[in-house]
Amino acid sequence: MDKTSSKKLSPRAIGVWRLGNAAGNAIFLGIPAVYYSVFGLNSFHFWIVIALSVIFLSFWVLSVFVIPPLRWKNWRYSIDQDEIDLLRGVLVSTETLIPLSRVQHVDTRQGPLLRWYGLSSVTISTAATTHEIPCLDQVIADRVRKEISTYARLAEEDV
């Protein structure tokens, strides 16, 4: 993917991912408390509770404060008349090329967090699977959906 022609997600995606990760991973912070309530704090169990607390708190801090900016920095997409190119990944980079002749339909989607931030996700369905461009501004998401739909229609006419 050419970085000059690729586009980035909305910077507000970082906030969406932070809130989603904070809420979704908060349940893991309760595991040491449950362990404590079941086994108490004897000498062996004390160290288990401390180890679980440190591990899950570290994981929660990473998922809320470190991962979302890195994820946003590494997410790019580009659309041309032949294909859609998606590049993403923090530790493992994944690049997906979707031929426009394979696109069956394109949707925009908004959950409560995306709606709160004024963002939408574009989902691209092919016969094999569904791909997503997350966290685009609503206007840009509508524009991307129409652009992909137009290109897919042109690609279908060429076949």
C-alpha span between 109 and 119 (Å, rounded): 9
User: Which tens digit of pLDDT belongs to each residue from 6-52?
Assistant: 999 999 999 999 999 999 999 998 999 898 888 888 888 899 999 99
**Is the whole model's pTM more than 0.95, yes or no?**
no
User: Which tens digit of pLDDT belongs to each residue from 60-114?
Assistant: 999 999 999 999 999 999 999 999 999 999 999 999 999 999 999 999 999 999 9
- Res 67: pLDDT: 96
- Contacts (Cβ under 8 Å, ≥6 apart) of 80: 151
- Contacts (Cβ under 8 Å, ≥6 apart) of 9: 72, 75, 77, 133, 134, 135, 136
Tokens at 80, concatenated:
């041309």
pLDDT at residue 2 tops 70: no
At which residue do the structure tokens 């690049």 appear?
95
| Residue 120, helix vs strand vs coil | strand
**C-alpha 115: how far from its chain's center?**
15
Q: Where are the alpha helices (DSSP H) in 110-137?
A: 112-117
70 C-beta neighbours (distance < 10 Å), count: 14
